Amino acid sequence: MTHGVAVIGSGAVGTDLMIKVLRVSETLRMVALAGTDPASDGLARARRFGVAGTADGVAGLVALPEFADVELVFDASRADAHPHNDALLAAHGRTVVDLTPAAIGPYVVPSVNLDAHLRERNVNMVTCGGQAAVPIVAAVRRITPVAYGELVASVAAGPSGPGTPVDLDGLTATTARAIEAVGGAGRGAASLTLDPARPEPAARGAVHCLCPDTGADRTAIVDSVQAMVAQVRRYVPGYRLGQDVRIDEVDAPVPALGERFTGLRVSVALEVAGAGHHLPGYAGHLDMMTSAALRTGERLAAVRAAERLSGRSGRAS
């Protein structure tokens, strides 16, 4: 059984997500792509794939006859457009997976907290950095408390596209909030650098966790991180450790905490290679977002289908 979906946003991210649905998903069926630029590459590709398309945004999407077959919508447009999109889709009873920073619904990181939000009508995919860092912080947190969690990342500037503004402050603030709210750190922080180098470098980052318990089981921490990386790789095959997990004892002032810290520092180097469905391989950070959204959409659609089936069975009995 497949579930009909639509994507809002015919740019690079929305197009990559459309192609993932077409090529990778065994449970989702790509029904429609909505954008606002009639000349966009995404809408041209949709036509070639036989996918219904519209350049009239969400209004055009709900006006398509194919919209009747859409159960779930991925919004890969813009944060300022998402509230309007969501309101219209809510009026039509559609579930929404939000890839923008709007965050109307709860933050979702599939390997960490998706099970807790399977019945939400709108869920938010945080940021690319959040999808990479939060699983690591959560993995450490399930062994020992994390007083401070930080992501330091560098990604190629190219995938954002010329003339496309990147709100680094907003991205880092959202990532920091997710490190706290979903990852479980007492305090979160993030730093993102856009690297203009050519050829474009792969997406890399490091997650640092400060843990006050110096007696924490270090082997258990490493095992937990490795298990989490394996879990994330089930939906993001290019997600991997850049080197062995490092654990050091520290006793030094930490400006972010405003005090001296004594405990363990767990450092985890990460690399993310893109699958190359539409985004280039070096855009692993964006591929991580679309892959996480795909996994989330599959689970949400499956739950709703099961509920409908259960409802029909209940009425029959």
Q: Which residues are catalytic?
A: 128
d(CA 28, CA 3): 5
Residue 117 buriedness (CB in 10 A; 0-12 / 13-18 / 19+): middle
d(CA 28, CA 15): 15
Closest CA to 231 of 137, 151, 139: 139
**Neighbouring residues of 207: CB distance < 8 A, sequence distance ≥ 6:** 132, 133, 136, 137, 149, 150, 151, 267, 268, 270
Q: What tokens were used for 291?
A: 């892959």
Q: Show the DSSP H helices in 102-261 as ranges.
A: 110-113, 128-141, 168-181, 218-233
Length of the chain as a residue count: 317
d(CA 295, CA 298): 5
Closest CA to 130 of 99, 164, 162, 86: 99
Strand partners, 34: 8, 54
d(CA 14, CA 35): 9
DSSP at 177: H
Residue 98: what are its φ and ψ, rounded to 5°? -95, 115
